[in-house]
Amino acid sequence: MKKIAVLGSTGSIGVSTLEIVRAFPDCYRVVALTAGNNIDLLHKQIDIFRPRIVSVVSAIDAQKLSQQLKGVDVQICSGIEGMIHCATVPEADMVVAAVVGAAGLVPTMAAIKSGKDVALANKETLVTAGSLIMAEVERQKINLIPVDSEHSAIFQSMTGQRRQDVQRLILTASGGPFREHGLAQFRTITPADALAHPNWDMGRKISIDSATMMNKGLEVIEARWLFDFPATMIDVHIHPESIIHSLVEYRDGAVMAQLGVPDMKTPIAYALSWPERLPLSQHPLDLCNVGNLSFSEPDTERFPCLRLAYAALTLGGTVPAVMNAANEVAVEAFLNNKLSFLGISQVIEKAMYQHQGEDLTTVEQALQADLWGRHKAHELISGGLV
Ligand code: MG
Q: How far is the CA of 149 from the centre of ligand 1 (A)?
A: 5
Q: How far is the CA of 167 from the centre of ligand 1 (A)?
A: 21
Q: How far is the CA of 382 from the centre of ligand 1 (A)?
A: 31
Q: According to the model, what pLDDT value does residue 284 have?
A: 93
Backbone angles phi, psi at 250, to 5 degrees: -105, 165
Q: How far is the CA of 245 from the centre of ligand 1 (A)?
A: 8
Q: How far is the CA of 171 from the centre of ligand 1 (A)?
A: 9
pLDDT at 385 over 80: no
Write the pLDDT tens digit of every residue in 64-122: 999 999 999 999 999 999 999 999 999 999 999 999 999 999 999 999 999 999 999 99
Summarize the confidence of residues 29-39 as an average pLDDT. 97
Q: How far is the CA of 46 from the centre of ligand 1 (A)?
A: 28
**Which letter does DSSP use for residue 178 in this model?**
T
Q: How far is the CA of 299 from the centre of ligand 1 (A)?
A: 18
Q: How far is the CA of 183 from the centre of ligand 1 (A)?
A: 25
Summarize the confidence of residues 203-225 as an average pLDDT. 96
**Residue 190, Cβ neighbours under 10 Å: how many?**
11
SS3 361: coil
Alpha carbon separation from 215 to 36, 84, 148, 171, 236 (Å, rounded) = 21, 26, 11, 11, 12
Q: How far is the CA of 172 from the centre of ligand 1 (A)?
A: 9
Q: How far is the CA of 306 from the centre of ligand 1 (A)?
A: 14
Q: How far is the CA of 214 from the centre of ligand 1 (A)?
A: 11
Q: How far is the CA of 174 from the centre of ligand 1 (A)?
A: 10
What is the C-alpha separation between 218 and 344, in angstroms, rounded? 15
Q: How far is the CA of 205 from the centre of ligand 1 (A)?
A: 13
Q: Domain 2-146: which topology?
A: Rossmann fold (3.40.50)
Q: How far is the CA of 100 from the centre of ligand 1 (A)?
A: 13
More confidently predicted of 386 and 241: 241
Q: How far is the CA of 323 from the centre of ligand 1 (A)?
A: 18
**Residue 346, Cβ neighbours under 10 Å: how many?**
17
Domain ranges of the chain: 2-146, 148-263+293-302, 316-386
pLDDT at 124 over 80: yes
Burial state string for 194-219 with b = 16 or more CB within 10 A and e = fewer than 16: bbebebbebbbbbbbbbbbbbbbbbb
Summarize the confidence of residues 278-284 as an average pLDDT. 91
Q: According to the model, what pLDDT value does residue 202 have?
A: 79
Residues with CB under 5 A from ligand 1 (ion): 148-150
Summarize the confidence of residues 155-178 as an average pLDDT. 97
Q: How far is the CA of 384 from the centre of ligand 1 (A)?
A: 32
Q: How far is the CA of 369 from the centre of ligand 1 (A)?
A: 25
Q: How far is the CA of 202 from the centre of ligand 1 (A)?
A: 10
Q: How far is the CA of 261 from the centre of ligand 1 (A)?
A: 13
Q: According to the model, what pLDDT value does residue 240 have?
A: 97
Q: Is 0.85 surpassed by the pTM of this model?
A: yes
What is the C-alpha separation between 32 and 94, in angstroms, rounded? 10
Counting residues of the chain whose pLDDT is more than 70, the rounded percentage is: 100
CA dihedral 20→23→25→28, nearest 10 degrees, is -10
Give helix then strand counts, H and E, for the chain: 16, 11
Q: How far is the CA of 224 from the centre of ligand 1 (A)?
A: 14
The yes-or-no answer to whether 2-146 and 316-386 have a common fold is: no
Q: According to the model, what pLDDT value does residue 229 have?
A: 98
pLDDT band at residue 199 using 50, 70 and 90 as cut-offs: confident
Q: How far is the CA of 227 from the centre of ligand 1 (A)?
A: 15
pLDDT at 198 over 90: no
Q: According to the model, what pLDDT value does residue 348 have?
A: 98
Q: How far is the CA of 234 from the centre of ligand 1 (A)?
A: 15
Q: How far is the CA of 148 from the centre of ligand 1 (A)?
A: 5
Please give the CATH architecture assigned to the domain spanning 316-386: Orthogonal Bundle (1.10)
Summarize the confidence of residues 280-287 as an average pLDDT. 92
Bridge partners of residue 32, in order along the sequence? 5, 53
Summarize the confidence of residues 215-244 as an average pLDDT. 98
Q: How far is the CA of 72 from the centre of ligand 1 (A)?
A: 37
